[in-house]
A and B are shown apart, each in its own frame.
Chain A
Amino acid sequence: MDSVSSARDGNPVLSRQWWRPGLDASSVRWVLFVAVGYYLAARLGFAFTLRPSPLSTLWPPNALLLAALLLTPSRLWAWLLLAALPAHLLAELQSGVPVAMVLGWYASNCSEALIGAALVRAFVPGPLRLDTLASTATFLLCGVLAAPLLSSFLDAALVSLVGWGDAGYWELLRTRVLSNALAEIIVAPLVLTWGSFHFARLRAAPPARHAEAAALFAGLLAASLVLDLPQIGLHATPALFYAPLPFLLWAAVRFGPTGTATAIAVMALATIWGAVSGLGPFTGHAPAQMARDMQLFLIAVAAPLLLLAAALEERKRVARDAREQRLQLTHLSRVAMLGELSGGIVHELNQPLTAILSNAQAARHFIANNSADPQLLGEILQDIILADQRAGDVIRRLRTLFKRGETNFETLDANTLVRDVLRIVNGDLVLRAIHAEIDLDEPLPPLEGDRVELQQLMLNLVVNACEAMGGVEERLRRLAIRTRAGTDGGVVISVTDNGAGFAPEQYERLFEPFYTTKRQGLGLGLSICRTIVRAHRGRLWGTAAPGKGAAFHVHLPAMRPGRRP
């Protein structure tokens, strides 16, 4: 494995060779990393014990192990479980528990992680990211509910068998299910989301985003800790329980599953810390009831939030995909249109090439004949330069149109737009023997728009107009392009032909996708034009009379206030 790429991907095991066999260096590092994490998580679990009872409200190692399994190809699962054994022994043997019990807990902990991971993997193949409603619901059902529940039967049986403590089987079972379910819902999402997080995104985020995250977590911490204040403590009004909720929702709406999992963990830690320190609203009861109340409260808060974050993430992705598809379709239609214009474009390039070649060959003759007048040679060279610049200009314009880029709004002049488009279609107009009448209103108010998309819009209208005049006698073909300042501070651009026109009943259908009156063509042009115009807050409409030609008008609104050029 290439160590550079693994460092860049954030998680060595999630990188490209997801299912490749063998235990390579990066896998060994990952296994050791998980073992160390398991040990630290166990130490943390001991710290959450509600004294004088030996109960821990949150036992994170099992959840960490489950999350690690879900981030790892199943061929490495045995290694992870094996590496957890020394970490488990090291952590537990310090606490004076009999060896038989320690080994029994190792077995039940591993069984919990394995049951959860196997069930989740069966429904969600590949790494679990909690970024879809289905995968999050699967995790909640299999990882948070089924895994702690099923493994606790074994755990309680082992504890009873060894005779550790004096609690009965069902009490042991109930205590362990809740404690482990809480750990799964708090710790596993944290590991899962951060384990597959691309840290490059963090570095690329603008300062405002960092500031927002800082504000969110400061507010969340304050809202969670306010419950732990001694003077509120026991007498907390129930409304105060909801103090962290706005911040948790903020995290779900703005910071995705990763932010939500982190926010839930922060709130849970603050609440548990308060309870362990004898502060906060959960104190005052017996430790067992206190733990149960707090666990149920935290689980009830975390589950819907994780689902909400996943649903929002899914929606964002759908919107992103739709936008991406629109961009792709617009680009494809643009390239297809340039294909239709290829004859005219070749014509536009061949003209300067002819001038360059003939000028150069003429100069060579003059020099060979010793009739080279320096002034004439200078003129020839100047003409070669001009012709070359003209060809370069054609290519530059085309390259911008061929390129697939992001939408980029800038200040534009509608007349420049029309002139640019005319330069691109000039060859086509010559070949089709179409006479263009250009009537530009000067000066026009500036527009705000994407140059390439608006050029595409204009090209589409002009090409449609040209094609509509195919049946008109050559010397009668007239294309009129007109710009006018609108009364509202915007601009109206009209493209008129004297072709076949269209019937009133065809009018609204013209803008529907896949509706076409041409023998060749997909029928996407005008539908894409309308999308482009809408994205510019404008309006596109047609007016026509059969046999007298058609006119298409684009109204583009004035620049928004405060965005003056």
Chain B
Amino acid sequence: MAGVSYIAIVDDEEPVRKALGRLLRASGMEVECYASGREFLDGSARRRPDCVVLDLHMPGMSGLEVLCALRPARPSVPAIVITAHDAPEIRRQCLAAGAADYLPKPLDERVLLNAISASLRAAKTPENRT
């Protein structure tokens, strides 16, 4: 992962997925988009992303379930949960489930990019490597 960060985007909404993908690519990142949690878990097993931008409310497997599925992996992939339905209770649940950050939609690029860099920095620190 020298230089270019590899980011996974998981969102069942195609227009959102496409737009976020363009934004991160325009900011110099390598991006892979997934339409569901299941697709992402299969894909990330082949190539581990540096960070995942994860939508919360998805049919089938929810963002929270994906978070729980990611956790046993060591080191775990830092996940930034995004949602179009912001509620304090949900934020609490996501952070408790190990989300690196929790961002309500619509996302401003600075907020998203800062959250991604922060999670990448945190992932490099030794305590996260154990």
Interface of A toward B, CB cutoff 8 Å: 343-344, 346-348, 350-359, 361-363, 365-366, 369, 371, 376, 380, 383, 386-387, 390, 427, 430-431, 433, 435, 474
Contact = CB atoms under 8 A, between A and B. Distances in A.
B109 A346 contact: no
A392 B57 CA distance: 22
Contacts of A355: 13, 15-16, 18-19
B119 to A, nearest CB: 18
A354 B105 contact: yes
Contacts of A351: 13, 15-16, 84, 105
A448 B78 CA distance: 55
Interface string B18-35: 111011011100000000
Interface of B: 13, 15-16, 18-20, 22-23, 25-27, 57-59, 62, 84-85, 87, 104-109
A128 B23 CA distance: 73
A474 B15 contact: no
A383 B15 contact: yes
22 contacts: A348-B84, A350-B84, A350-B104, A350-B105, A351-B84, A352-B15, A355-B13, A356-B19, A357-B108, A358-B19, A358-B23, A359-B19, A359-B22, A361-B26, A362-B19, A362-B22, A362-B23, A376-B22, A390-B15, A427-B84, A431-B85, A474-B62
List of 7 A-B pairs having minimum Cβ-Cβ separation, nearest first: A365-B26, A350-B84, A358-B19, A362-B22, A355-B15, A354-B106, A362-B23
Nearest to A346: B85
Judged by DSSP, the binding face of B is: loop
B59 A358 contact: no
A380 B21 CA distance: 12
Contacts of A371: 26
B18 A354 contact: no
Contacts of B23: 358-359, 361-362, 365
Nearest to A371: B26
A347 B19 contact: no
Given A358-B23, A361-B108, A363-B22, 8 more contacts: A344-B85, A346-B85, A350-B85, A352-B15, A354-B105, A355-B16, A359-B19, A371-B26
Given A350-B84, A430-B59, A433-B57, A365 B15 contact: no
Contacts of A365: 23, 26-27, 109
A361 B109 CA distance: 7
Nearest to B62: A433
B109 A358 contact: yes
A383 B106 contact: no
Contacts of A433: 57, 59, 62
Contacts of A356: 19, 106
B117 to A, nearest CB: 16
A435 B62 CA distance: 13
